[in-house]
A and B are shown apart, each in its own frame.
Chain A
Amino acid sequence: MNWKDSFSTSIGKKLQMSLTGLFLITFLLVHCYINMQIFYNDGGTRFKEAAHFMGTNFVIRSVELGLFAFLILHIVQGLLLWAKNRSRRTVKYAVSAGNKTSPWYSRSMALLGTLILLFLILHLSKFWGPNRYSQTFGAGELDLYTMMRDEFQMTWVVVVYVLGCIALGWHLLHGFYSAFQTLGLGTNKYKGMIKAIGVGFSILVPIIFALMPVAFYMHWIQ
């Protein structure tokens, strides 16, 4: 067996999920940091600077391509795994263990992921899509800050964003630890630490994200 073949085995596929997942976690951290600039409440000056850098820097734009590749891989592989795993028990149990043996979110990664995907489609179509379109077809960068301020006046948009962040939080609660476990780092020595950091990350990051639409909606920031 060649090491390349290992990607087709069950552990190999999980490795893909783990590595792409960790990359997406890193992306979330960067994205979160950039967006947090709005909380300076400086009319978007710092945010625009950062957004401009991210939207025009050659390296970042290249990495963005990788990000999409990984995101798609994560989604496709995740759904394929889900479908395959589901098919391995043709006759289902009449009574299930429910949450007695495992937390619900760990069993619902595909569902949570799909919710995040739906949210993502909305999110991209509102900001990233129009911006790149405008950049590509000569109209230049859009004012994302103003767009945000306008969009987040609509109640349904804010609600969808908050729900998306909640789904993200549960997804991360299992995903963060799971990524490290798949890499073989879930030893008794590190498991506690990884889980603790994972819980912190999965609560903090989605809350910060959710605070953005809420803050605009509530006019905490102008």
Chain B
Amino acid sequence: MEHYNMNLTLKVWRQKSANFKGHFETFKVAGISSEMSFLEMFDVLNEQLVAEGKEPIAFDHDCREGICGMCSMYINGRAHGPWEQTTTCQLHMREYKDGDTIVVEPWRANSFPVIRDLVVDRSSFDRIIGAGGYISVNTGNAQDANALPIDKQKADESFAAATCIGCGACVAACPNTSAMLFVSAKVSHLALLPQGDPERNTRAVNMINQMDAEGFGSCTNIGACEAECPKGISLENIARLNREYIGAVFSGSGESKS
């Protein structure tokens, strides 16, 4: 593919910490190669800022291959930018052309407070998993793996839900800051497997209670989460979570530990 260089204007959110008010700052970057990833473009900008004696922009990133879920930029109004099913780190600069202006914001949700600049605190997701997103099996003498055959289609669906990387784009994209897609992906992953069956009721109820306690908004079936999910997690999972929850509460067996 032909590559080219470009000059860009970046408007980036700067915020010293959760206790400070944030603001936009405008930067110019020159000679950006179309082969760079979006974050490599930020590397260039940060090197430039360090050279100028300014503070570089803080942003979360780690694996840079679209799987760790750490990167989290809201680019020109889109969680992870304009490419479908793509994390920020996998977005490449050939999307842009010379002279473009790009506005970059952090995930904005009260349940994801800003730590600095584009870095937010997503520990609420860990606590939701801790509330029930697991199968209670201690390390030790599990039975032979093939003693429990699982319908391939179910296993595949479970896998599809389990590919969630916990990046929080669903919350960032949702007008209500709802975390339902994230929660439903975990509930679906486990509910579709026979191993997850014994705890299905308490799991759905406890995870939803924790989700509410963390202050996420409620789902109004808008679907922006699905559109922005870098792993293509389907809204069908939210329908399943709703079923699981209704089943749990009305069967009377969804008594939570609290």
Instruction: Tell whether A pairs with B.
Output: yes
Interface residues of A (CB under 8 A from B): 1, 3, 6, 9-15, 81, 84-98, 100-102, 106-107, 109, 174, 177-178, 181-188, 191
Q: Is residue B245 within 8 Å, beta carbon to beta carbon, of the partner chain?
A: yes
The reply to whether B108 and A91 contact each other, CB–CB distance below 8 Å, is: yes
- What A residues does B76 contact at CB under 8 A? 95
- What B residues does A84 contact at CB under 8 A? 217-218
- What A residues does B250 contact at CB under 8 A? 3
Q: Is residue B67 within 8 Å, beta carbon to beta carbon, of the partner chain?
A: no
Say what secondary structure dominates the interface of chain A.
Answer: helix
Measured CB to CB, the closest approach of chain A to B213, in angstroms, equals 10
The reply to whether B242 and A181 contact each other, CB–CB distance below 8 Å, is: yes
The reply to whether B77 and A10 contact each other, CB–CB distance below 8 Å, is: no
Q: Is residue B27 within 8 Å, beta carbon to beta carbon, of the partner chain?
A: no
- What A residues does B56 contact at CB under 8 A? none
- What A residues does B217 contact at CB under 8 A? 10, 84-85, 88-89
Measured CB to CB, the closest approach of chain A to B221, in angstroms, equals 4
Q: Identify the closest chain B residue to A107 (Cβ).
A: B175
Are A100 and B111 CB-contacts (below 8 A) given A11-B208, A88-B215?
no
Interface residues of B (CB under 8 A from A): 11, 22, 24, 74, 76-79, 103, 105, 108-111, 173, 175-178, 205, 208-209, 211-212, 215-224, 227-228, 234-236, 238-246, 249-250, 252, 254-256, 258
Q: Identify the closest chain A residue to B78 (Cβ).
A: A97
The one of B178, B220, B236 that contacts A178, using a Cβ cutoff of 8 Å: B220
The reply to whether A89 and B110 contact each other, CB–CB distance below 8 Å, is: yes
Are A96 and B77 CB-contacts (below 8 A) given A9-B208, A89-B108?
yes
Q: How long is the Cα–Cα vector from A88 to B254 in the complex, in angstroms?
A: 28
Q: How long is the Cα–Cα vector from A90 to B24 in the complex, in angstroms?
A: 16
Of residues B24, B216, B242, B250, which shows the largest number of chain A Cβ atoms within 10 Å of its Cβ? B242
Measured CB to CB, the closest approach of chain A to B109, in angstroms, equals 6
The reply to whether A15 and B77 contact each other, CB–CB distance below 8 Å, is: no
The reply to whether A91 and B22 contact each other, CB–CB distance below 8 Å, is: yes
The one of B74, B105, B173, B220 that contacts A81, using a Cβ cutoff of 8 Å: B220
The reply to whether B177 and A89 contact each other, CB–CB distance below 8 Å, is: yes
The reply to whether A6 and B240 contact each other, CB–CB distance below 8 Å, is: no
- What A residues does B256 contact at CB under 8 A? 1
Q: How long is the Cα–Cα vector from A100 to B111 in the complex, in angstroms?
A: 24
The reply to whether B222 and A107 contact each other, CB–CB distance below 8 Å, is: yes
The reply to whether A93 and B77 contact each other, CB–CB distance below 8 Å, is: yes
The reply to whether B249 and A3 contact each other, CB–CB distance below 8 Å, is: yes
The one of B105, B111, B235 that contacts A181, using a Cβ cutoff of 8 Å: B235
Q: How long is the Cα–Cα vector from A10 to B238 in the complex, in angstroms?
A: 13
- What A residues does B105 contact at CB under 8 A? 93-95
Are A109 and B220 CB-contacts (below 8 A) given A94-B103, A95-B103?
yes
Measured CB to CB, the closest approach of chain B to A199, in angstroms, equals 15
Measured CB to CB, the closest approach of chain B to A77, in angstroms, equals 11
For the complex of A and B, the 5 pairs showing the least CB-CB separation, nearest first, are A184-B243, A10-B218, A85-B176, A95-B77, A186-B239
Measured CB to CB, the closest approach of chain B to A5, in angstroms, equals 8
- 10 residue pairs A–B, Cβ–Cβ below 8 Å: A1-B205, A1-B256, A10-B211, A12-B249, A86-B176, A88-B177, A88-B217, A93-B77, A178-B221, A183-B243
Of residues B79, B176, B258, which shows the largest number of chain A Cβ atoms within 10 Å of its Cβ? B176
- What A residues does B220 contact at CB under 8 A? 14, 81, 85, 106, 109, 178
The reply to whether A101 and B227 contact each other, CB–CB distance below 8 Å, is: yes
Q: Identify the closest chain B residue to A17 (Cβ).
A: B220
- What B residues does A93 contact at CB under 8 A? 74, 77, 105, 108
Of residues A1, A100, A183, A185, which shows the largest number of chain B Cβ atoms within 10 Å of its Cβ? A1
